[in-house]
Amino acid sequence: MTDSYRHKGMRKSLVETLRQKGIHDEAVMAAIGAIPRHFFLDKAFEEHAYEDKAFPIGNEQTISQPYTVAYQTQLLDVQARDRVLEIGTGSGYQAAVLAALGARVFTIERQETLYLHARSLLHTMGLKTIQCFFGDGTSGLPDYAPYDKILVTAGAPVVPEALKNQLMIGGRLVIPVGDSVQHMHLIRRINAGKFETEILKPFRFVPFLDGIQRQ
Ligand code: SAH
CATH of the domain at 178: 3.40.50.150
Atom of ligand 1 nearest to the CA of 93: 7
What is the tally of structural domains in the chain?
1
**Structural domain of residue 180, as residue ranges?**
56-203
Question: How far apart are alpha carbons 15 and 23 in whole angstroms?
Answer: 9
Its pTM stands at 0.98
How high does pLDDT run on average in the chain?
97
Spell out which residues line ligand 1, taking CB within 6 angstroms.
Answer: 61-64, 87-88, 90-91, 93-94, 108-111, 114, 136-138, 153-154, 206, 208-209
Return the ∠ at Cα 143 (arms to 91 and 79), rounded to 5°.
60
Question: Is 23 domain-assigned?
Answer: no
The predicted pLDDT at position 147 comes to: 99
pLDDT bucket at 1, cuts 50 / 70 / 90:
confident
* 13 among known catalytic residues: no
Assigned domain for 43 exists: no
Assigned domain for 40 exists: no
In a domain, residue 3? The reply is no
- Please state the rounded mean pLDDT for residues 3-16: 97
Q: What is the pLDDT of residues 61-79, one digit of tens each?
A: 999 999 999 999 999 999 9
Residue 198 lies in a domain: yes
DSSP state of 171: E
29 falls within a domain: no
Is 165 inside a domain boundary?
yes
In this structure, is residue 21 part of a structural domain? no
